[in-house]
């Protein structure tokens, strides 16, 4: 199993939050970091080049300068980190997917945008594209994450067999003693059957080595006097149970995707409370 994190940056504050979280993981699991920045030529590149200015070279030089500054800041944060960097011409999703074909990484990790305007739309859409197409898991990190920890995993569950494979794709790469919370969101006050919960816990305990496995559920409510949709119910469980890393299976037909996919980039960018691991069901 490769011990390198592929960490994406656009040199923004939210990207730095992702890099700091990656440094936290690298220190805990003795991982290496490969920091990647991708860029595309400006739309007026041809005109300016004819005018006698090599805009492409200037753009590359600016990206390299920013990357050197970033690497120096990362060294100040932790001088023991093993870090490599690259600035590559191309669209984010396509470039990352090409790298994943050529190299082996533990995870792809990126900070999610919270700022308005173009940055938000670009990073949000790239996050969604990677979640859908990446053969390995993508960890999205909210901006301004304070004091990262990793003691309790939270698995969004609808009691499907492939959720154990999803969970294992995390625990195989994080050889550490971790607790697990199974998180289930209900509707219309219909609680999950106790035998279904017990069977899921027993199957996970048999397959994976985890310190402690617990279960919690929350009912989504859509009344005028009290409105807590599925994302709000998930946030409530995260806060109440102290989850440190949320694990989500991306599937167009899944229960959670029906609620989140209509505005998933906005949900990830604006409402993510904690680092969240996404993996497409296509690769489980």
Secondary structure of 52-68 in HEC code, one letter for each residue: CCCHHHHHHHHHHHHHH
- Give the span between the Cα atoms of 233 and 217, in whole angstroms: 9
Strand locations in 112-204 (E) = 138-141, 152-156, 179-187
Closest alpha carbon to 159 in 229, 246, 254: 254
Closest Cα to residue 255, out of 131, 158, 128?
A: 158
Nearby residues of 109 by Cβ (< 8 Å), 6 or more positions away:
5, 6, 7, 8, 18, 21, 22, 25, 138, 139, 141
In 10 A of CB 221, how many CB atoms?
15
pLDDT at 268: 47
Task: Give percent of the chain above pLDDT 90.
Answer: 59
Per-residue pLDDT at 44: 60
284 in Cβ contact with 249 (< 8 Å): yes
Model confidence at 269, in pLDDT bands (50, 70, 90)? Answer: very low
- 176 phi, psi to nearest 5 deg: -150, 160
Query: Six-digit token pair at 269?
Result: 């960018």
In this predicted model, what pLDDT tens digit does every residue of 193-221 receive, in sequence order? 999 999 999 999 999 989 899 999 999 88
DSSP per position, 219-280: EEEE-SS-EE-HHHHHHHHHHHHT-SEEEEEE-TTSHHHHHHGGGHHHHHHHH--S-EEEEE
Widest distance between CA atoms in the chain: 73
Q: How confident is the model at residue 45 (pLDDT cuts 50, 70, 90)?
A: low
Per-residue pLDDT, 187? 83
pLDDT value for 48: 52
> In 3D, which of 247, 236, 163 has the Cα closest to residue 199?
163
Residue-range domains of the chain with CATH: 4-141 (3.40.50.620), 152-283 (3.40.50.620)
- How far, in Å, are 70, 87, 171 from residue 82 at the CA level? 14, 17, 22
Mean pLDDT of the chain: 85
The predicted-structure confidence for 52-111, as pLDDT tens digits, reads as follows: 457 778 889 999 999 999 999 999 989 999 999 999 999 898 999 999 999 999 999 998
Is there a contact between 251 and 257 (Cβ–Cβ < 8 Å)? yes
Supply the pLDDT for residue 14: 85
- Helix, strand, or coil (residue 22): helix
Summarize pLDDT for 8-18 with one digit per residue, the tens.
999 988 899 99
**Chain Cα centroid distance, residue 186:** 24
Average pLDDT over residues 242-256: 78
pLDDT for 167 beyond 90:
yes
**The pLDDT of residue 122:** 39
């Amino acid at each position: 199993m490769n011990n390198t994190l592929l960490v994406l940056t656009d040199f923004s504050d939210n990207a730095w939050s992702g890099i700091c979280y990656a440094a936290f993981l690298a220190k805990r699991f003795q991982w290496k970091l490969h920091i990647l920045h991708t860029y595309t030529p400006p739309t007026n590149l041809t005109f300016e080049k004819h005018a006698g200015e090599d805009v492409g070279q200037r753009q590359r030089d600016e990206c390299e300068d920013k990357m050197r500054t970033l690497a120096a800041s990362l060294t100040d944060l932790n001088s023991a980190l093993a870090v490599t960097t690259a600035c590559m011409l191309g669209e984010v999703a396509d470039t990352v997917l090409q790298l994943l074909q050529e190299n082996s990484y533990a995870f792809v990790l990126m900070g999610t945008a919270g700022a308005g305007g173009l940055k938000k739309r670009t990073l949000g859409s790239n996050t969604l594209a990677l979640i859908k197409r990446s053969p390995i898991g993508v960890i999205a990190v909210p901006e301004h994450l304070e004091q990262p920890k990793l003691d309790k995993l939270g698995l969004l569950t609808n009691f499907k067999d492939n959720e154990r494979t999803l969970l294992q794709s995390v625990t195989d790469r994080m050889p550490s003693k971790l607790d697990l919370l199974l998180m289930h969101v209900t509707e219309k006050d219909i609680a999950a059957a106790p035998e279904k919960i017990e069977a899921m816990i027993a199957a996970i305990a048999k397959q994976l080595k985890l310190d402690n496995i617990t279960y919690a559920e929350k009912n989504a409510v859509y009344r005028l006097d009290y409105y807590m949709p599925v994302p709000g119910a998930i946030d409530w469980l995260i806060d109440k149970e102290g989850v440190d890393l949320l694990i989500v299976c991306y599937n167009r037909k899944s229960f959670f995707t029906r609620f989140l996919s209509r505005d998933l980039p906005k949900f990830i960018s604006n409402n993510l409370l904690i680092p969240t691991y996404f993996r497409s069901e296509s690769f489980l």
